[in-house]
Amino acid sequence: MSTTLFSLAFGVGTQNRQGAWLEVFYAQPLLNPSAELVAAIAPVLGYTEGNQAIAFSTAQASQLAEALKGVDAAQAALLTRLAESHKPLVATILAEDAQLSSTPEAYLKLHLLSHRLVKPHGLNLAGIFPLLPNVAWTSQGAIDLAELAEHQLEARLRGELLEVFSVDKFPKMTDYVVPAGVRIADAARIRLGAYVGEGTTVMHEGFVNFNAGTEGPGMIEGRVSAGVFVGKGSDLGGGCSTMGTLSGGGNIVIKVGEGCLIGANAGIGIPLGDRNTVESGLYVTAGTKVALLDEHNKLVKVVKARELAGQPDLLFRRNSETGAVECKTHKSAIELNEALHAHN
């Protein structure tokens, strides 16, 4: 048995009446757990190798807690609490960061992102969507959609209201983890699997998808789509959009550099370098024709926006008279043009 693991977590979750996992909560997920910890738990769980999600009983939780005394006090204390559970328990063990094969594995990787243990694009999330069941997220937790009507009737007969907050594959992040040092105005707009860096404020209209997020500090009043990572000190204005890998960007990694500003109702379909500004209302896609201007506002060249991807110190704007998309830089446009074609 290999004693080096990629990740390990003990969780409590929800299953439907057929025993299929709907969701899992991991209070203290571990990245690269110690060999000593792995050796202590393996005999209790019957673990030998590979990526596995192993259901365990409350009696085994007590055994695991005892085995981890003197090895990992925090995990031992967690398992002592899990031994009191009335909900199903699971130990999810990832020997390597491989393609996902179970719902508990998928939830562990989403937790690793939201606990800031791994940054977006730092995990293999291949095959995640079929492993995340579409469930009703309610005031009584996750409920299988096929069982929802019965639960609603049972609640009414008790004189209660079963409130359905959403029907989705992803729950809201704050039901699982609230990262330190953040402000979130509307928790429903942050999905589990988002990485929200310290110092980030997400206002009511802001949205952060899974495998996306912010380095922090920053102000998010727009959309951070799947796969997009926003650098330090950057602000996304109200209603602005970043094109993610799920919304037409293909495999292009869209990121926002440090110290950037995307204006209200603007948008990007290219990666931005540091200290870029996109004027309010302007959507810049990879194929957008951009007039490159020098320091005297004279046209140097017309390029496609993808040629400016990742370049620092740019201002994207629309000419109010002609409607043409223009780009100015703190450097001279001649120098920038030479840099763009240095490796042609």
The answer to whether 163 is a known ligand-binding residue is no
3-state DSSP call for residue 2? coil
Query: What gap in Å lies between CA 176 and CA 118, rounded to an integer?
Result: 16
The answer to whether 205 is a known ligand-binding residue is yes
The answer to whether 332 is a known ligand-binding residue is no
Helix boundaries (H) for the chain: 35-45, 58-68, 73-82, 103-114, 128-131, 145-157, 333-340
Which residues are the active-site residues? 221
The answer to whether 96 is a known ligand-binding residue is no
The answer to whether 320 is a known ligand-binding residue is yes
Query: What gap in Å lies between CA 220 and CA 235, rounded to an integer?
Result: 6
The answer to whether 280 is a known ligand-binding residue is yes
The answer to whether 279 is a known ligand-binding residue is yes
Cα angle 326, 329, 331 (rounded to 5 degrees) comes to 150
The answer to whether 23 is a known ligand-binding residue is no
The count of other CB atoms within 10 Å of the CB of residue 96 is: 12
Half-sphere exposure of 301 toward its Cβ, with a 13 Å CA cutoff?
Answer: 14
The answer to whether 241 is a known ligand-binding residue is yes
The widest CA-to-CA distance across the chain, in whole angstroms, is 76
Sign of torsion over alpha carbons 29, 32, 33, 38: positive
**Residues annotated as binding site for succinyl-CoA?**
223, 238, 241, 264, 279-280, 287, 304, 317-320
Binding site members: 205, 223, 238, 241, 264, 279-280, 287, 304, 317-320
Point out the annotated binding site for Mg(2+).
205
